[in-house]
Structure 1
Amino acid sequence: MSLTIMRRIRFCAGHRLMHHGGMCENFHGHNYVADFYVEGDKQDEIGRVIDFSVLKKLMKTWLDDNWDHGFLIHQDDDNARQGLKIIKPCRYFEMPYNPTAENMALYLLKEVCPGLLAGTGARATGVRIWETDDSFAEAKIDGESGETVVMAAMADEI
């Protein structure tokens, strides 16, 4: 049997979606919420999968150091990079794909969480990125196949 906990972290960031063809191709920002779902097969002597404060410190530190109050861009978006380099100071983070909410969740789940949680006995099974109060995307690891599944829900547009 496994147990799952969730920790919510808030951060602010800007992004643009290369080749979007609509409004999201412009630089804009969001007050994001990231929900980290973490699972463990056993509890520590106190009864925890991982201490919530440890999970918060790991995830929030990474987000603060890399994405908070910065811009997320596709690594191939030379136009965005050139524009951002003109602004001083300016932080930006290059992602291997467009920084959609889906891809942000996927990146955190597959690239960031495994390293941060190494040695804790806990593993990330899902990340949900809230882009607005009504819209989120979620990447999760399917319990049976071990495959990563990405889904989006947009309550206002359904």
Structure 2
Amino acid sequence: MTINPGDTIPEATFRVKTQDGPKPITTAEVFDGKKVVLFGVPGAFTPTCTMNHLPGFLELNDEIRAKGVDTIAVVAVNDPFVMGAWQNATEAGDKILFLADGSADFVRAAGLDVDLSGAGLGVRSRRFSMIVDNGVVKSINIEEAPGQAEVSTARAILAQL
């Protein structure tokens, strides 16, 4: 079942790339006591994710944070090394927290997984964005197709804040 507004974020452990190597970070560490914008993508370095979806969150970062957002994070079913390389390649710096959900534990628990095996990608995250306040989903936007970024954009999130 897909997570909905009013639901609590499921417990999971992501990995983030640090200078000392991959580090676990729990959903509690990411969401508890914070207002978070989380967006999910089918994969780091994929065309729509890199050229259309992520750039908006970089461009509107200051405006989103001005609405009281503590953290902007992206999650993908990739390993922390790929997510770290994507963070570097996009020059995101510390503007966005890059969360690796390598085994799709979080996206499965949230009902946001999609089987893209037909395209050779395996289980991935659906493309989505959400606003989470202290671990509770306030709004969620899920794309119908993995190759489109329309309802889950930074501009759409900004309008909801």
TM range, smaller chain: under 0.3
Larger Rg: 1
TM-score, with length taken from structure 1: 0.28
TM-score, with length taken from structure 2: 0.28
**Greater RCO between the two (CA within 8 Å, min separation 6)?**
2
